[in-house]
A and B are shown apart, each in its own frame.
Chain A
Amino acid sequence: MKNASAQVNITINGKELQVEEGISILFAARQNDIYIPTLCHHPALSEWGGCRLCVVEVDGSPKLAASCVTPVRGGMSIVTDNDRIVESRRTMLEFLFAERNHNCMFCPRSGECELQRLAYELQMDHLTVAFSFKEFPTDVTSRYMAIDHNRCILCGRCIRACQEIAGAQVLGFHHRGPKTMIGMDLKTERSNSTCMDCGVCMQVCPTGAISNRFRSHYAVKGHAPTSEKVESFCSLCGLMCPTDLYAGNNQLIRVDGCLSETAGRPDKGQLCYKGRFQVFQAPAGRLTQPLVRQPDGTWEVATWKDAIQIVAGKMADIQKINSGKALFGITSGMVSNEELILFKELMEKGWSAGYVDTLDGRYFRNLAAVYSKGNGAIAEASWKTIGESDFVLIVGGNPVRTQPLLTSLLRKRNYEENLKLAMVSHIDEQPSFITDYIHVHGHHLADLLRTLAVEAAALRKDNPAAGSKQSKGTATRLSQIGLADKEQGMFTSMARCYAEAKNPLIIIDTAVTGMTDCDCIAPILDLAKLKTAKGQEGQNLLILKPAGNSIGAWRAGIAAPSAPEGKDHLKGGIVLMGEEPALDEDLLGRIHSSEFVAVLTSYALPEWLDRAHVLIPKPMWMEQDGTFMSLDALEKAYRCRTLLPPEGVRPTWESLAAMEESIGMKNRIKSWDELRKKTEEMM
């Protein structure tokens, strides 16, 4: 065996270098700041050697070698730049341009295209070959990405990214020769394929072949190279994926995953359809000025100060007549820890509000057995253990709705390592990559889980009575639940896999925690405890959260421990904070008869225009700083804003602080730094 760190001596352009044996010429050159142009090469992907842009002369050989796939050898003499090499590279480019439609002036990628950049660099000012003018299809069947095969140079980066980063193995080459095309599964269209729209193919595409459908006005918004890059992270689901955001003219242009940095994460910077595309889909009706409802029902623009005064005054009036018990505060779980802390303080200390909750309070209350204080609140598993588990049981539905990246990681491990996956669900929707799937009615789910816990306990290796037979009564219970023979077989296999697994993980999907009468948590805890030592309960339990910073709100103690009671509940004065358009139907129904509703929101949604009395604009998440917590509450990170809010829109904390000021609260927060410090201390 060769010594991995053996050094060899080579010369590049006459310069003597010592490099590690076996690395590619390209890598050796880059290590030593010697430029070689590349096209099909991508630092995060395996080498392909297909584009021949990186050709170099080795030992004067008449045949040029692709530097990305040629390993260095001791004594090698390499030339990276002479007339012959440049001519060869330029000819390769000419072939690429001639083969399909690469007319820059009608391509949305012009200005940030690698093919174009190389043509400029190599001074390809005309073609010496004729264009083919062959037509290829354009695929717009995905709502997120368009694939224009006419722009494709078949570099295969998307295919390698789909396989190596996303692990989805959806993309591949179809047909042969000049008819070669990128295809999805066994078709040439993205719709109905197993693609999960993670968009990593789009990120690595060097040309305009795969483009973001939500960003068509490239020329108006500016191109990525002229725009500013902001290192950020996504706070939409709690996995806090690191992102590079590109913005120009205060508009978001591009969201990239950090492909080359793993930072202890199992995902290789993949991102998902939410993080990459949802951020472009802002709802209509951005709120930029405070609005106040007039006695005749119409809305009028008010100054920020007046709007704050009206809210404080109205809340005080209601408080005077009915005491603080008639005041309520409800916040979304998508906001930062700082906003949450200040909101809680204003509601509880400022107004002695009767009830403070989060939009997703129901999920929290269903998890009371997990989070109840004094009753031994358990530490949840890190979501990253998904990379190490040998058996994963998902309870509920496909996590693709809340945490798409998790689903992708599960699928990847299933494809690559044959990870055993099982799912019990009350939603009839079986993910294609999960074969052990049992669907039962919602009111049977808890029963099924209880039976599973009993069965798994019986099958445990350390259980002397363990045998290959089902434990007594199991068959009867399963028949009562209504499982067919085939499903009973799956049940036994699930129980056995769980019992025998060294490192099993149970994922509780929001479809379970969001149930109205949820009695599944206790049996899930029983099941989880089978595989953990005392004091480590929960270490094999991954609880998915409905909103990006749900756990932040829950840890801040905002979610109400008991459900609101009575129909007249929320009749008094309410302050709502949040920006998500997906609002709780139940909540909207209940605030209909409220005396006064003030909303801190980014959008003047019809729901608010229908029910609220004062709307105060709030920057959207990309427009303000804040700390967020990861799904498993194990990490938190501070993020600076990427965009400036519209003129006149003040940070949420300023609006909350102004309310505190107008009610004369003592010991109130007076600056962002103070709030940030306090949040740091409290959470």
Chain B
Amino acid sequence: MGKPKIATVWLEGCAGCHMSFLDLDEALLDILPLVELTVSPITDFKDFRFPEVELGIIEGGIGNEEQLEIARHLRSKAKIIMTWGDCAVFGGINTLRNWIPQKEVLHRGYVASESTVGGVIPMHAEIPRLLDHVIPVNQAITVDAYIPGCPPSPEVIAYSLTEILKGKIPVLPSEMIHFD
């Protein structure tokens, strides 16, 4: 068997979890030779037609139809889905908008913002529509491993990957769980 293939996606989040991944610094040199990184924001792939992968990693919650589709697509191609960060696990800071009706959110952002004159809410077939609520990934697809944290620290990211490489589904011990 060749090296396990990994795909990572960044949905409704801030890239902080991927930054934490890069923050592994020289430890990356130990992990990267053991895996094959396919589609990922880090490899700058623009094509989201995922290959079959052993591990799909999701950062960010699901807030629009495109994100929902990407998540479902990755699920269909990945043996294991691991969610990184509070947004993917709980919805995170994006859920702030869940307490406000969607219409109001769009109006505030595109029409009523202070710097906008004559703004309109963009509507086009190619623009993904917002979902009513931002939801955690496990509300849309089956998730196998949860790594909360905002962001998870590099040590926790490293732990999650090394567990997978050992053939285990990572379950964070108490001292590694953080919600902030």
Contacts and interface: CB of A to CB of B under 8 A. Distances in A.
Contact of A127 (B98, B136, B147): B136
Given A131-B95, A131-B98, A133-B99, A125 B180 contact: no
Contacts of A284: none
Nearest to A113: B179
Given A119-B177, A123-B173, A126-B148, A103 B86 contact: yes
Interface stretch (A104-112, A329-337, A425-433, A482-490): A104-112
B178 interface: yes
B91 A131 contact: yes
Nearest to B177: A120
A462 interface: no
A131 B89 CA distance: 12
Interface residues of B, number: 30
Contact of A125 (B133, B148, B175): B148
Contacts of A120: 174-175, 177-179
Is chain A's interface secondary structure helix, strand, loop, or mixed overall?
loop
Contacts of A104: 86, 150, 179-180
Among B83, B148, B175, B179, the most chain A Cβ lie within 10 Å of the Cβ of B179
Interface string B136-162: 101100010011101000000000000
Interface string A236-260: 0000000000000000000000000
Counting chain A CB atoms within 10 Å of each CB, the highest count among B90, B98, B133, B136 belongs to B90
B95 A133 contact: yes
A206 B88 CA distance: 26
Given A110-B179, A130-B139, A123 B96 contact: no
B131 interface: no
Nearest to B150: A105
Given A130-B139, A133-B133, A116 B99 contact: no
A120 B89 CA distance: 14
Given A103-B95, A104-B179, A127 B90 contact: yes
Interface of B: 83, 86, 89-93, 95-96, 98-99, 133, 135-136, 138-139, 143, 146-148, 150, 171-175, 177-180
Interface of A: 97, 101, 103-107, 110-111, 116, 119-128, 130-131, 133, 135
16 contacts: A103-B86, A103-B90, A103-B92, A104-B180, A105-B150, A105-B179, A111-B180, A121-B174, A123-B171, A123-B174, A125-B146, A126-B90, A131-B90, A131-B95, A133-B95, A133-B98
Given A119-B179, A126-B89, A126-B146, 15 more contacts: A97-B90, A101-B99, A103-B86, A103-B92, A105-B86, A110-B179, A111-B180, A116-B179, A121-B174, A123-B173, A125-B146, A126-B83, A126-B138, A131-B95, A133-B99
